[in-house]
Amino acid sequence: MTSTVSGAGIAVAPIDFTDRTLPNGLRVLLVEDHRVPSVAINVGYRVGGKDDPPGRSGFAHLFEHLMFKGTKNTRPETIDRLTEDIGGLNNAFTAEDITNYYEVVPSNYLETLLWAEGDRLGSLAVTEEHFHTERDVVIGEYDQRILAEPYGMLDELVNREAFAVHPYRRGVIGDPENLRAATLDDVVAFHRTFYRPDNAVLVVVGDFDPVQANAWVDKYFGRVAKPDAPIPRVTAVEPPQTAERTFTYRAANVPLPAIEYAYHIPEWGHPDAPALDIVETLLGMGKSSRLYQSLVYLQRVATAAHASADLREQPGLFSFRAIASTGTPLERVREALDAEIARLRDELPAAAEMVRVRTQIASSFVRSRQTYNNIALALVRSAIERDDPGALNSDLDRYRAVTAADVQRVARQYLARENRTTIEYLPL
Amino acid sequence: MTQPITTLEKPPSPGAPHRAELPLPVERTLANGLRVIAFPQRGAPKAYAVPIIAAQLIVRGGASAESEAEAGLATLTTSLITQGTATRSAVEIAQAVDGLGARLDAASGYDASTVSITALTHVFPDAFALFDEVVRQPSFPQAEVERVRAKAIGDLALSYSSPSALARFVAQRVAFASAPYGHPVAGTAETLAALDRDRIVAFHGRFFRPDNATLIIGGDCAPEDAFALAEKQFGGWRAPSEPLPEPVLFTVPPPRSRVVIVDKPDAGRTALLVGRVGISRRAKTYAAGVVATAVLSGYSGRLNQEVRVKRGLSYGAGAQLIARREPGLFLASTLVDHTKVEEAVTVVLDTLRGLAATPPEASELVTRKATISGGFSRSIETIDGIAGMLGELALYGMPLTDLGEYVPEIEAIDPAMVQQFAAAAFEELFIVLVGDAQVFGAAIAAAYPNTSIIPLAELDLGQPTAVKVPG
């Protein structure tokens, strides 16, 4: 019987993982689990939108696409063939701080996929032609997700206006002009700079024999050399904001006016992070949450109202977004939001509400542990974004330790008017 | 820089496959006729135990039991089931669900209506009591009826704005006309507006009864405990004296090839569907149909290869086999530029006919079957996934042991069986196009004799012809 971690009266088995670092610096986390005969493989790199080279906004994301375009040993789309054709799947994503590649395949193909991931860490051989095609695909993605989607541009605007100095202001999807200026030389340099074993975390979860898996990891990843050059890191520090900043934007594809508040908050590894997650849940999770009950259900001033503690490797944002209901002036939505923020600062949440929120957090935490790939992703993110994969196993305890007074304290400290960037987003 | 001469490495070969350990469902029928199926979490060595229990009640009775005038009734009823009971308001239900950290959902399809709850083990008995309350004692408050109806009408407007979603609604009508699978599950703005509370109460009373339902409980719970919970909570549920509603049996109209264009000038691209009435879930050819559909679908499936990879006509193309109690639909779909419609129609038709004419290579079948068994493995990773598959077997009166037969049955399909399925299924295909007909309508009408063009303003999915009736 393994020991259990508990939170809100819930006993949850810890994720039992091994953690080692190869001589070349690659961190390797393995979770053995035999419920289903498959394995999830995640390779996370400590590089994201904030690390884009100067004048190359969006480059980390473009680069992610190029990682599917061939190596010195393989043709483009080899990873797709090695996964889809055997009933598996693969994909990748780029966020502010991380680029993560993953595969879920039948467990007897583990060695094949470890080879393939080690191969694309070790070499990349993109042709000029593939580079151009893929750059067009990424610019097409910008058109589809940012320009064509309702409110698609709003996330970009929030980052751009809320951060004055920190490169988080450039977002992840970047700027099509910057991408058009990128060259194949940039690609080679980027791979050399960031795609190195000491800048990566490999996680495997599922049905494998650890002795065999470790030997394969040594064989296919251990041979990749660790470069001597230091890895460039973002050192910019966002200065404290001292007065509210307000912006009004008008855009096509805005079905109803929206308002966004963004407040600076500390990084994910900070002791206040669990309390900020609790505030997010209390305000925004489920039909009984404060924003839904007040703005959407009772007052009917908004069709949707969200709160989000966007905790990152470096200080991030706590944001509110509300979309006005038909015919409601945005000013009324703003008043309703302000009232909810004032309530958080002025009143202690009731004990029953704290219990509900802790239970909601614990439940979604446990629910997300059902699939191998979710477990792998949680380990990768925790390893890269807060430098501590094991923190996952004490998260529930940390949530349980958050008191009503902590909620009020972080609300007063961070959800302050002078710390806020406000964007009104209106139809043309 | 000169490239050193290197020997290319080949990917290592796979080891021997490991067998999936399938959950073992057990069942019992309560005295009131409620069928209960339980499946425990698998206790594999080194398995990460998830303290979650899920329950699902499947009621035989969905949109195919509605009349044309009542389109949307089943969906409206299930949407409202969580919005008030004899003792709790909608807000109180939401608070109770969130307070337990549970998830409570309800939805209807053509053949069935389903209510489901998932919660952590230690609170599951409380969540299950709440689940029982909404299933058996919904109060359908008038104010919630109005609110949910208004939202449903608003959601319809949103889905009509998408060419792909609209094309699917139209395809149901083209395939089934006035048969019970013809009208939209979500109803239309007109039928929804006409539904009153009495009909909702009657629909619930007619179908939500123990002898017309299956209850599935799975996850972190031994079968004996699941049966005890089911007995404690639902044992006192009495079936009404009225006879059990008979499943609606019907014949579908014979397929005939025709083209229906919905002219939507503001559509960004044209949604293209090629389809036909397909097969029932119990059909002997189901496994062959699933494999044939897999040959056509996915990134390396034939449709995507022909439409996207070779010709760049679209971002993607694929096919779907929707099998129900009665024959459902086969659909091939893509989304193309208005100027590329004629070419895309030809390519899709040729691709389907190619499979009907020539058996696929055995090697092609190996990879396409792998996509099916891989998808199956991923579905059984979650408790909800297993419950969903068992629910489908129970609904269609199939043995629960079929869960273990599925992958072997797929493996047993050979190239000739795929071709035979395609040859029978891809005759008399219909085509539905939703897009700017100004651009392609005339060319399509010239190439395909049986073509009709419906301006968007004339479209009425409440009619078997999908066209507004004057007056």
Residue B162 confidence (pLDDT): 87
A402 and A253, same domain (yes or no):
yes
Q: What residue in A sits closest to B4 (Cα-Cα)?
A: A72
CA dist B281 → A17, A253, B298, B433, B469 (Å)? 42, 42, 22, 27, 34
Q: Tokens 């202690």 belong to which residue?
A: A348
A10 within domain boundaries: no
CA torsion angle B312 B316 B317 B318 (round to 10): 150
Chain B neighbours among A 130-189 (CB < 8 Å)? 148
Q: Does A370 contact B118 at a Cβ distance shorter than 8 Å? A: no
**pLDDT confidence tier of residue B44, bands split at 50, 70 and 90:** low
Q: Does B43 touch chain A (CB under 8 A)?
A: no
User: Among B9, B13, B100, whose Cβ lies nearest the Cβ of A359?
Assistant: B100
**pLDDT confidence tier of residue A5, bands split at 50, 70 and 90:** very low
Nearest to A219 by CA among A26, A352, A407: A26
ipTM exceeding 0.95, yes/no: no
CA dist B57 → A25, B80, B112, B131 (Å)? 52, 16, 10, 9
Quick one: which H or E segment has residue A191? helix A184-194
Report d(CA B345, CA B353) in Å as an integer.
12
Cβ distance B310 to B348 under 8 Å? no
A250 and A397, same domain (yes or no):
yes
Across A179-199, average pLDDT:
95
The angle that helices B73-80 and B197-207 make with each other, rounded to 10 degrees, is: 80
Contacts of B17 in chain A (CB under 8 A): 37, 106-108
Among candidate residues A221, A254, A289, the one where a domain is terminated? A221
| Domain with A131 in it | 15-221
A235 within domain boundaries: no
A232 within domain boundaries: no
Q: Does B15 contact A362 at a Cβ distance shorter than 8 Å? A: no
Q: Does A84 contact B300 at a Cβ distance shorter than 8 Å? A: yes
Cβ distance A396 to A362 under 8 Å? yes
Cβ burial, residue A257 (10 Å; 0-12/13-18/19+): middle
**pLDDT confidence tier of residue A25, bands split at 50, 70 and 90:** very high
A165 and A25, same domain (yes or no):
yes
| Amino acid identity for residue A19 in this structure | D
Report d(CA A149, CA B229) in Å as an integer.
46
Gap from B440 CA to chain A (nearest CA, Å): 24
**pLDDT confidence tier of residue B19, bands split at 50, 70 and 90:** confident
Among candidate residues A205, A221, A237, the one where a domain is terminated? A221
User: Among B9, B268, B374, whose Cβ lies nearest the Cβ of A87?
Assistant: B374
Report d(CA B226, CA B230) in Å as an integer.
6
Chain A neighbours among B 372-401 (CB < 8 Å)? 372-375, 377-378, 380-383
Q: What is the pLDDT of residues A145-166, one digit of tens each?
A: 787 778 889 999 999 999 999 9
Gap from A420 CA to chain B (nearest CA, Å): 30
Nearest to A118 by CA among A59, A67, A77, A65: A67
Contacts of B11 in chain A (CB under 8 A): 74, 78, 82, 112, 115-116
The angle that helices B163-176 and B142-160 make with each other, rounded to 10 degrees, is: 100
Residue A425 confidence (pLDDT): 97
A6 within domain boundaries: no
Q: Does A370 contact B102 at a Cβ distance shorter than 8 Å? A: no
CA dist A146 → A324, B39, B67, B101, B423 (Å)? 21, 45, 43, 34, 44
**pLDDT confidence tier of residue A428, bands split at 50, 70 and 90:** confident
Contacts of B308 in chain A (CB under 8 A): none
Q: Return the structure tokens found at A182.
A: 């990128």
CB atoms within 10 A of CB B219: 28
Q: Does A371 contact B11 at a Cβ distance shorter than 8 Å? A: no
Q: Does A125 touch chain B (CB under 8 A)?
A: no
Q: Return the structure tokens found at B278.
A: 């397909």
Among candidate residues A221, A236, A270, the one where a domain is terminated? A221
Residue B251 confidence (pLDDT): 84
Mean pLDDT score of chain A: 93
| Widest distance between CA atoms in chain B | 87
CATH number at residue A314: 3.30.830.10
Cβ burial, residue A407 (10 Å; 0-12/13-18/19+): buried
For residue B4, pLDDT beyond 60: no
Cβ distance B190 to B354 under 8 Å? no
User: Among B9, B14, B299, whose Cβ lies nearest the Cβ of A108?
Assistant: B14
For residue B3, pLDDT beyond 60: no
A345 within domain boundaries: yes
Report the DSSP beta bridge partners of residue A12. Answer: A5
For residue B1, pLDDT beyond 50: no
User: Among B13, B48, B370, whose Cβ lies nearest the Cβ of A87?
Assistant: B370
Gap from B119 CA to chain A (nearest CA, Å): 7
**pLDDT confidence tier of residue A9, bands split at 50, 70 and 90:** low
Distance of CA B255 to the CA centre of its chain: 22
Specify the number of domains making up chain A: 2
Residue B380 confidence (pLDDT): 87
Residue A384 confidence (pLDDT): 97
Quote the DSSP letter at residue A244.
Answer: -
A151 and A286, same domain (yes or no):
no
Report d(CA B434, CA B263) in Å as an integer.
6
Q: Does B361 touch chain A (CB under 8 A)?
A: no
Lowest mean pLDDT among A14-28, A140-154, B119-133, B222-236: A140-154
Full-model pTM: 0.90
Contacts of B97 in chain A (CB under 8 A): 286-288
Across B391-397, average pLDDT:
97
Gap from B449 CA to chain A (nearest CA, Å): 36
Select the residue from B7, B24, B41, B120 to test the A interface by mutation, using most A Cβ atoms within 10 A.
B120
Chain B neighbours among A 224-283 (CB < 8 Å)? none
Q: Does B17 contact A360 at a Cβ distance shorter than 8 Å? A: no
A313 and A276, same domain (yes or no):
yes
Contacts of residue A67, Cβ cutoff 8 Å, sequence gap at least 6: A92, A101, A120, A124
Q: What residue in A sits closest to B219 (Cα-Cα)?
A: A370
Own/partner contacts of B93-96, CB < 8 Å, gap of 24 or more, are B93/B130, B93/B134, B94/A286, B94/A287, B94/A288, B95/A288, B95/A356, B96/B130
Q: What residue in B sits closest to A90 (Cα-Cα)?
A: B299
Cβ burial, residue B217 (10 Å; 0-12/13-18/19+): buried
Q: Does A35 contact B381 at a Cβ distance shorter than 8 Å? A: yes
Q: What is the pLDDT of residues A311-368, one digit of tens each?
A: 999 999 999 999 999 899 999 999 999 999 999 999 999 999 999 999 999 999 888 8
The angle that helices B341-357 and B437-447 make with each other, rounded to 10 degrees, is: 40
Cβ distance A144 to B50 under 8 Å? no
> Domains in chain B, start-ordered, CATH in brackets?
26-234 (3.30.830.10), 258-458 (3.30.830.10)
A184 and A216, same domain (yes or no):
yes
Lowest mean pLDDT among A48-62, A394-408, B42-56: B42-56
Helices (H), B25-88: 73-80
Cβ burial, residue B404 (10 Å; 0-12/13-18/19+): middle
Select the residue from A91, A355, A363 to test the B interface by mutation, using most B Cβ atoms within 10 A.
A363
A29 and A127, same domain (yes or no):
yes
Q: What is the pLDDT of residues B108-129, one digit of tens each?
A: 999 999 999 999 999 999 999 9
Own/partner contacts of A156-162, CB < 8 Å, gap of 24 or more, are A157/A247, A157/A249, A157/A260, A157/A423, A157/A425, A158/A260, A158/A262, A158/A317, A158/A319, A158/A421, A158/A423, A159/A317, A161/A245, A161/A247, A161/A262, A161/A421, A161/A423, A162/A245, A162/A262, A162/A264, A162/A317, A162/A421
Q: Does A366 contact B378 at a Cβ distance shorter than 8 Å? A: no
Beta strands in A3-147 (DSSP E): 5-7, 10-12, 18-21, 27-32, 38-45, 89-94, 99-106
Residue B45 confidence (pLDDT): 63
A5 within domain boundaries: no
Report d(CA A237, CA B468) in Å as an integer.
63
Mean pLDDT score of chain B: 93
Q: What is the pLDDT of residues B418-429, one digit of tens each?
A: 999 999 999 999
Contacts of B51 in chain A (CB under 8 A): 10-12, 366
Select the residue from B9, B48, B79, B314 to test the A interface by mutation, using most A Cβ atoms within 10 A.
B48
Cβ distance A113 to B12 under 8 Å? no
Q: What is the pLDDT of residues A212-232, one digit of tens each?
A: 999 999 999 999 999 999 999
Nearest to A118 by CA among A200, A21, A16, A31: A200
Select the residue from A36, A114, A392 to test the B interface by mutation, using most B Cβ atoms within 10 A.
A36
Across A278-288, average pLDDT:
95
Residue A252 confidence (pLDDT): 78
Q: What residue in B sits closest to A16 (Cα-Cα)?
A: B48
Contacts of B370 in chain A (CB under 8 A): 85-87
A156 and A274, same domain (yes or no):
no
Report d(CA A201, CA A221) in Å as an integer.
11
Helices (H), B161-273: 163-176, 189-194, 197-207, 223-234
Nearest to A43 by CA among A406, A335, A376, A408: A376
Report the DSSP beta bridge partners of residue B261. Answer: B433, B453
DSSP calls for A138-187: HHHHHIIIIIISTTTTHHHHHHHHH-SSSGGGG-SS--HHHHHH--HHHH
A373 and A254, same domain (yes or no):
yes
Residue A3 confidence (pLDDT): 34
Q: Which residue has the higher pLDDT, B87 or B43?
A: B87
A299 and A401, same domain (yes or no):
yes
Select the residue from A280, A282, A359 to test the B interface by mutation, using most B Cβ atoms within 10 A.
A359
CA dist B248 → A155, B33, B68, B94, B184 (Å)? 49, 20, 14, 34, 17
A192 and A316, same domain (yes or no):
no
For residue B5, pLDDT beyond 60: no
Q: What residue in A sits closest to B43 (Cα-Cα)?
A: A35
- What phi and psi, each to the nearest 5 degrees, are found at residue A58? 95, 0
A190 and A46, same domain (yes or no):
yes
CB atoms within 10 A of CB A339: 12
**pLDDT confidence tier of residue A411, bands split at 50, 70 and 90:** very high
Gap from A361 CA to chain B (nearest CA, Å): 8
For residue B68, pLDDT beyond 60: yes
Quick one: which H or E segment has residue B392? helix B383-395
A63 within domain boundaries: yes
A344 within domain boundaries: yes
Size of interface A-B (CB pairs under 8 A): 166
Contacts of A379 in chain B (CB under 8 A): none
Q: Does B50 contact A37 at a Cβ distance shorter than 8 Å? A: no
